[in-house]
Chains A and B, each alone.
Chain A
Amino acid sequence: MSAQDPVEIFRQEAQELFESIEQGLLDLAHRPGDRDLVDAVFRGLHTLKGSGAMFGFDALAAFTHHCETAFDRVRRGEVAATSALVGAVLACQDHMRALAEGRPASEAAGDLLLAELHRVVQSAGQAASLGAAPAEATAAPLHTWRVKFSLPADALINGTRPLPLLDELRELGDCRVTVVTDKVPDFDVLVATECHLAWDVTLVTPHGRDAIEDVFIFVIDDMTLDIQEVAEAEAAPAAAEVALAAAPQAVGANDEAPAAEGRHAKVSGDTVRVPAERLDEMMDRVGELVIAQSRLKQLAASSSDIALRAVAEEIERLAAEMRDTMMVVRMVPIAQLFGRFRRLIHDLARDTGKTIELSTEGETTELDKTVIERLADPLIHLIRNAADHGLETPEQRLAAGKPQTGHVVLAARQSGAEVVITITDDGRGVDRDRVRAKAEENGLIQPGQVLNDNELLQLIFAPGFSTAAAITNLSGRGVGMDVVKRTIEGLRGAIELTSTPGEGSVVSLRIPLTLAIIDGLLVRVGAGRYVIPLSSVEECVELSVEQDIRSTGRSLITLRDQLVPFIRLRQMFSTAQAPDPHQKIVVVQAGQERVGLVVDQILGDHQTVIKALSGFHAEVGAFSGATILGDGGVALILDIGHLVAAGQRHDAQLRAAS
């Protein structure tokens, strides 16, 4: 995508509009009388329509017009904002999204949605007429505004269409539009595709400044716009043609200052919108820089040139700072992700007939943008699961002595180099008997096989467990918990499930903050070098020859009065070389579990640029990726979750044997 592609710019902006409309609608379902919410939704729809028309999305503009009209009637107090109306507009919004994104959207489906919308508006209108008298919006006082604007010369070639802007202004009230051609060059020097026109508009309307600014929302960053009430304009004559980008709202109504402040940030350059792929490219470059720096460090270490060493250290410091800065740039608050689920819960409540409330916690927690994108599908699945299968019907809840409304809590918090996301419901909990029956039916376990509670719950994540309409699968989606688990593990994360019968379930996802570069501990096992993510490392202890001999066949060490199982990576990786006389145990932790990894040598810390393994190696569970070392060699990155699980299994076998 080109940064200048106006269609893409519109789609990005429209995405934000859709989100804000959706949040407004969902809030309105709880607070139907909130006038500010009604205004906000109306303004969103109005802007979407106008901007859609301006960027050539005519079908979107025409369709949105109906929703806007419906909300205009709500605004005027003619129609009540019933939950049916909110639902109908939400359904319409899905169609609008498809139109904005260029996805297939059949006209017949659109017509059906509009028919439903009109039906709902009619019935909501009757409800309103039985209720309070219409609000006094229609009697709002008229203002006369003088609006002068011009667009940058490349506006037309970039897809901006001024005529729909003017049409939108006309929709706000009585409008006199005059084109200003003073800046149009002589024909000899005219570049015909450029825009040198300006407009001077006098508008008599009940609307305020916000409504006028909304007309220009998609072009406001680059244009020159001056809006003045005529009385003010007369008091402060022509001096006031102000470039909005330079001094927005230089002359304006004082009572609208707060609204204007929010806009300042957008237009004054406080934030910059950058295509995500540029960040990815930049991250790749930083990764290459870190690798090159690593080589330099190695060369400098073997050199006696003090100046070279000093430069290498300086570059190491700068590369680390650059990496950290880059990481921060890529971080986005998880609120972006959580915001999507309010709509999901609304739809699920409607579809299942349950009363469901979603609470979110820790929305300011930040995660790498790539991780957030890849978390969306698993979380949708888990939330659907909680709402669809975890929560009981209102009748069942009342019978069980619970409140009628079921709760789903979505929470995020940072824990070291990980973010822990939990999905908690206060439903019926996992039915162990049904899980066992299902697992036996699918051949995952032998009938009567002894399993502890954790092992039983883990069966839910087994491939082939949830293909039928049963405990954890969702009808129609064809995606099971095994896919969720795979996705989370693909993010180098882990998933855990705990459940109390009758009280509900908690699914915890532990996700690394980033997928790009990590701090690692470089170790040697035989001739091979490996990276252990530093965030997992608890401590390093020496494994003496005596301890080594004593623990053979047992593989347990005592650390501060606790037995910790350990894995001899030499054995695991079938290393042929003789072991180092001073082997080390690196104690790592994943979740609540600890395990020791026996290595020959600890080489030191290492900034690890993670490279994905090829598809051919994807099934090698012990490794989560690879990295390039300073000398050009390759080190594999150990998958700690996998190794800890292997260690725990080994420990369990030993206990069972003893």
Chain B
Amino acid sequence: MLSLSDDHLPVYFSDDVTILNIDKAYLELSAAFLQEKPVILDISGVTETDLTFVQMIESARRQAAASGRDLVLSRPAEGAVLEVLRRGGFLDDDVCNRAEFWLQEGFQ
């Protein structure tokens, strides 16, 4: 697990995060993005999810990387999120440090 530092702004996602409420999740992440702090996502409480959630975080991750901002997960993806990543082919590719981001392979 990644250790939290005080300057990281935590954003928590839990329970169901699917296309039905992805707009709300987007607003929460946008609010964090407006601040200049690095962002740490805690997705360990997500019990059901779909591609919209993974796509949103992928989009945020890429933009953060491009602008030199720090966006990390508090712990490796697991459960429902890992299942979507696996089925969706997010882990079969080694481009863009994707697997490193989601599985924190670089940190473990």
Chain A contact residues, CB within 8 Å of chain B: 156-157, 161-163, 166-167, 176-179, 181, 184-188, 190, 192-193, 195-197, 199, 201
Contact = CB atoms under 8 A, between A and B. Distances in A.
Contacts of B89: 166, 177-179, 199, 201
Contact of A188 (B25, B63, B96): B63
B63 A156 contact: no
Given A192-B25, A193-B23, A197-B55, 8 more contacts: A178-B92, A179-B90, A181-B96, A187-B30, A187-B63, A188-B63, A190-B59, A195-B51
B57 to A, nearest CB: 9
Contacts of A197: 51, 55, 88
A190 B93 CA distance: 23
B62 interface: yes
B41 interface: no
A179 to B, nearest CB: 4
B26 A192 contact: yes
Contact of B26 (A162, A179, A190): A190
Contact of A167 (B19, B22, B87): B87
Contacts of B59: 184-187, 190
A85 B19 CA distance: 42
A623 B92 CA distance: 73
B15 to A, nearest CB: 17
B12 interface: no
Contacts of B19: 156-157, 193
A251 B60 CA distance: 37
A192 B93 contact: no
Nearest to B67: A186
Interface of B: 19, 22-23, 25-26, 29-30, 33, 50-52, 55-56, 58-60, 62-64, 66, 84, 87-90, 92-93, 96
Which of A161, A178, A187 lies at the interface centre, i.e. has the most chain B CB atoms within 10 A of its CB?
A: A187
13 contacts: A156-B50, A162-B51, A163-B88, A177-B92, A179-B89, A181-B58, A187-B56, A188-B33, A192-B22, A192-B56, A193-B19, A193-B52, A195-B52
B63 A163 contact: no
Contact of A184 (B23, B62, B84, B93): B62
A166 B91 CA distance: 14
B93 A178 contact: yes
A167 B88 CA distance: 9
A176 B93 CA distance: 9
Contacts of A190: 26, 55-56, 59
Contacts of B51: 156, 162-163, 195, 197
A167 B83 CA distance: 12
A193 B25 CA distance: 11
A181 B54 CA distance: 11
B63 to A, nearest CB: 4
Contact of B88 (A156, A162, A192): A162
B92 A192 contact: no
A201 B19 CA distance: 24
Contacts of B88: 162-163, 166, 177, 179, 197
Closest 3 CB pairs of A and B: A177-B89, A192-B26, A179-B89
Contacts of A186: 59, 62-63, 66
A483 to B, nearest CB: 47
A195 B84 contact: no
A193 B20 CA distance: 9
B50 to A, nearest CB: 8
B23 A179 contact: no
B9 to A, nearest CB: 15
Nearest to B90: A179
A190 B19 CA distance: 14
A163 B55 CA distance: 13
A455 B63 CA distance: 86
A252 B88 CA distance: 26
Contacts of A177: 88-89, 92
B93 A179 contact: yes
A282 to B, nearest CB: 34
Contacts of B22: 192-193
A192 B89 CA distance: 19
A184 B58 contact: yes
Contacts of B84: 163
Contacts of B33: 187-188
A657 B18 CA distance: 84
